[in-house]
Protein backbone atom coordinates (compact mmCIF):
# COMPACT_ATOMS: atom_id res chain seq x y z
CA UNK A 1 0.00 0.00 0.00
CA UNK A 2 1.22 3.44 -0.87
CA UNK A 3 0.78 6.04 1.86
CA UNK A 4 1.30 9.63 0.83
CA UNK A 5 4.05 11.25 2.82
CA UNK A 6 3.52 14.45 4.74
CA UNK A 7 5.48 16.57 2.31
CA UNK A 8 3.62 15.70 -0.86
CA UNK A 9 0.78 18.13 -0.61
CA UNK A 10 -0.39 17.26 -4.09
CA UNK A 11 -1.13 13.62 -3.36
CA UNK A 12 -4.52 13.96 -5.05
CA UNK A 13 -4.56 14.04 -8.82
CA UNK A 14 -1.08 12.79 -9.53
CA UNK A 15 -0.11 12.42 -13.14
CA UNK A 16 0.84 9.02 -14.51
CA UNK A 17 4.38 10.23 -14.84
CA UNK A 18 4.48 11.15 -11.17
CA UNK A 19 3.06 7.81 -10.17
CA UNK A 20 5.69 6.04 -12.20
CA UNK A 21 8.39 8.16 -10.62
CA UNK A 22 7.12 7.25 -7.18
CA UNK A 23 7.06 3.56 -7.98
CA UNK A 24 10.60 3.89 -9.25
CA UNK A 25 11.74 5.66 -6.10
CA UNK A 26 10.07 3.15 -3.81
CA UNK A 27 11.84 0.37 -5.69
CA UNK A 28 15.06 2.30 -5.44
CA UNK A 29 14.81 2.74 -1.69
CA UNK A 30 13.92 -0.94 -1.21
CA UNK A 31 17.11 -1.93 -3.04
CA UNK A 32 19.32 0.45 -1.13
CA UNK A 33 21.41 -0.78 1.77
CA UNK A 34 19.58 1.72 3.95
CA UNK A 35 16.99 0.63 6.48
CA UNK A 36 13.37 1.79 6.40
CA UNK A 37 14.02 3.46 9.71
CA UNK A 38 16.88 5.45 8.22
CA UNK A 39 14.70 6.48 5.29
CA UNK A 40 12.07 7.68 7.73
CA UNK A 41 14.70 9.74 9.51
CA UNK A 42 15.82 11.21 6.19
CA UNK A 43 12.20 12.09 5.37
CA UNK A 44 11.52 13.70 8.74
CA UNK A 45 14.79 15.60 8.74
CA UNK A 46 14.34 16.73 5.13
CA UNK A 47 11.04 18.24 6.17
CA UNK A 48 12.71 20.21 8.96
CA UNK A 49 15.92 21.14 7.18
CA UNK A 50 16.03 24.73 5.90
CA UNK A 51 18.47 23.97 3.11
CA UNK A 52 16.58 21.00 1.72
CA UNK A 53 13.24 22.73 2.17
CA UNK A 54 14.54 25.51 -0.06
CA UNK A 55 15.84 22.93 -2.55
CA UNK A 56 12.41 21.22 -2.57
CA UNK A 57 10.68 24.47 -3.42
CA UNK A 58 13.28 25.22 -6.04
CA UNK A 59 12.72 21.81 -7.68
CA UNK A 60 8.99 22.51 -7.57
CA UNK A 61 9.55 25.70 -9.52
CA UNK A 62 11.61 23.85 -12.10
CA UNK A 63 15.01 24.97 -10.75
CA UNK A 64 15.08 28.51 -12.21
CA UNK A 65 18.35 30.45 -12.36
CA UNK A 66 19.21 31.54 -8.86
CA UNK A 67 21.53 33.91 -7.02
CA UNK A 68 20.93 32.15 -3.73
CA UNK A 69 24.33 30.72 -2.72
CA UNK A 70 22.61 27.85 -0.97
CA UNK A 71 20.80 26.75 -4.12
CA UNK A 72 23.81 27.63 -6.21
CA UNK A 73 25.59 24.65 -4.69
CA UNK A 74 23.03 22.42 -6.35
CA UNK A 75 22.96 24.26 -9.67
CA UNK A 76 25.43 21.97 -11.42
CA UNK A 77 23.25 18.93 -10.74
CA UNK A 78 19.82 20.56 -11.02
CA UNK A 79 18.80 18.51 -14.07
CA UNK A 80 19.14 15.36 -12.03
CA UNK A 81 17.25 16.54 -8.95
CA UNK A 82 13.86 15.11 -8.08
CA UNK A 83 11.78 15.23 -4.97
CA UNK A 84 9.83 12.08 -4.32
CA UNK A 85 8.48 10.12 -1.39
CA UNK A 86 9.69 12.81 1.01
CA UNK A 87 13.29 12.50 -0.11
CA UNK A 88 15.34 14.55 -2.56
CA UNK A 89 17.24 12.51 -5.12
CA UNK A 90 20.06 13.36 -7.45
CA UNK A 91 19.56 10.70 -10.08
CA UNK A 92 19.54 7.51 -8.04
CA UNK A 93 21.36 9.03 -5.09
CA UNK A 94 19.73 10.29 -1.91
CA UNK A 95 20.53 13.93 -1.21
CA UNK A 96 21.71 13.92 2.38
CA UNK A 97 20.97 16.88 4.59
CA UNK A 98 23.62 18.52 6.74
CA UNK A 99 22.58 17.04 10.08
CA UNK A 100 22.93 13.50 8.76
CA UNK A 101 26.14 13.92 6.76
CA UNK A 102 28.50 13.18 9.65
CA UNK A 103 26.59 10.02 10.44
CA UNK A 104 26.72 8.94 6.80
CA UNK A 105 30.44 9.71 6.60
CA UNK A 106 31.07 7.48 9.59
CA UNK A 107 29.09 4.70 7.93
CA UNK A 108 30.96 5.12 4.64
CA UNK A 109 34.28 4.96 6.46
CA UNK A 110 33.41 2.27 9.00
CA UNK A 111 35.90 -0.21 7.52
CA UNK A 112 38.62 2.48 7.42
CA UNK A 113 39.10 2.12 3.72
CA UNK A 114 40.96 4.78 1.79
CA UNK A 115 39.54 7.80 0.09
CA UNK A 116 38.98 6.14 -3.33
CA UNK A 117 37.04 3.19 -1.94
CA UNK A 118 34.99 5.40 0.36
CA UNK A 119 34.12 7.72 -2.53
CA UNK A 120 33.12 4.81 -4.73
CA UNK A 121 30.92 3.44 -1.97
CA UNK A 122 29.17 6.76 -1.42
CA UNK A 123 28.87 7.74 -5.06
CA UNK A 124 26.22 5.25 -6.06
CA UNK A 125 24.10 5.96 -3.04
CA UNK A 126 24.47 9.39 -1.55
CA UNK A 127 24.93 12.95 -2.63
CA UNK A 128 25.53 16.35 -1.13
CA UNK A 129 27.53 19.32 -2.39
CA UNK A 130 31.23 18.77 -1.73
CA UNK A 131 30.69 15.21 -0.57
CA UNK A 132 34.00 14.13 -2.06
CA UNK A 133 35.84 16.79 -0.09
CA UNK A 134 34.10 15.81 3.11
CA UNK A 135 35.08 12.19 2.58
CA UNK A 136 38.65 13.27 1.90
CA UNK A 137 38.75 15.23 5.14
CA UNK A 138 37.15 12.40 7.05
CA UNK A 139 39.80 9.92 5.88
CA UNK A 140 42.59 12.44 6.39
CA UNK A 141 41.57 13.23 9.95
CA UNK A 142 40.55 9.75 11.04
CA UNK A 143 42.57 8.87 14.13
CA UNK A 144 42.62 5.16 13.44
CA UNK A 145 43.74 5.64 9.84
CA UNK A 146 46.43 8.05 10.95
CA UNK A 147 47.72 5.63 13.54
CA UNK A 148 47.94 2.94 10.90
CA UNK A 149 49.69 5.24 8.45
CA UNK A 150 52.23 6.24 11.13
CA UNK A 151 53.04 2.68 12.04
CA UNK A 152 53.82 2.03 8.37
CA UNK A 153 56.10 5.04 8.25
CA UNK A 154 58.35 3.55 10.92
CA UNK A 155 59.52 0.78 8.65
CA UNK A 156 62.16 2.67 6.62
CA UNK A 157 63.70 3.95 9.85
CA UNK A 158 64.28 0.39 11.05
CA UNK A 159 65.97 -0.44 7.75
CA UNK A 160 68.24 2.52 8.10
CA UNK A 161 69.45 1.29 11.47
CA UNK A 162 70.30 -2.07 9.96
CA UNK A 163 72.21 -0.42 7.15
CA UNK A 164 74.37 1.30 9.68
CA UNK A 165 75.81 -2.04 10.67
CA UNK A 166 79.28 -3.44 9.97
CA UNK A 167 79.65 -1.71 6.62
CA UNK A 168 79.06 1.75 7.79
CA UNK A 169 82.42 3.39 7.86
CA UNK A 170 82.48 6.21 10.26
CA UNK A 171 85.97 7.16 11.07
ZN1 LIG B 1 39.78 5.54 9.33
- Please check the confidence at residue 14 and state whether its pLDDT lies above 90: no
Q: Could you tell me which residues are beta bridge partners of residue 88?
A: 83
pLDDT digits (tens, 9 = 90+) for 17-39: 777 777 777 776 676 667 778 88
Q: How far is the CA of 121 from the centre of ligand 1 (A)?
A: 15
Specify the pLDDT at position 152: 54
Q: Residue 103 Cα, ligand 1 centroid: separation in angstroms? A: 14
- Looking at residue 36, its pLDDT comes to 79
Q: Separation of 52 CA from ligand 1 center, angstroms?
A: 29
Q: What is the mean pLDDT of the chain?
A: 80
Largest Cα separation within the chain, whole Å, is 93
Q: Give helix then strand counts, H and E, for the chain.
A: 8, 4
Alpha carbon of 169 to ligand 1 centroid (Å): 43
Ligand 1: distance of its center to the CA of 35 in Å?
A: 23
pLDDT for res 12:
54
pTM for this prediction: 0.69
Non-local CB neighbours of 59 within 8 Å, separated by 6+ positions: 81, 82, 83, 88
Q: What percent of the chain has pLDDT over 70?
A: 75
Could you read off the pLDDT of 147-166 as tens digits, one per residue? 877 665 444 444 444 444 44
Q: Cα(7)–Cα(11) distance, rounded to whole angstroms?
A: 9
What separation in Å is there between the alpha carbon of 141 and the centre of ligand 1? 8
Query: What's the 147 CA to ligand 1 centre distance in angstroms?
Result: 9
Amino acid sequence: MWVADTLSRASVGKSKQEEEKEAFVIGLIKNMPISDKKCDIVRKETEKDEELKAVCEWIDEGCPKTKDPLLGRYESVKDELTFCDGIIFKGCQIVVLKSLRMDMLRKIHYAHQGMTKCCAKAKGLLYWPNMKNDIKNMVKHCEICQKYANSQCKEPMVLQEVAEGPWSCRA
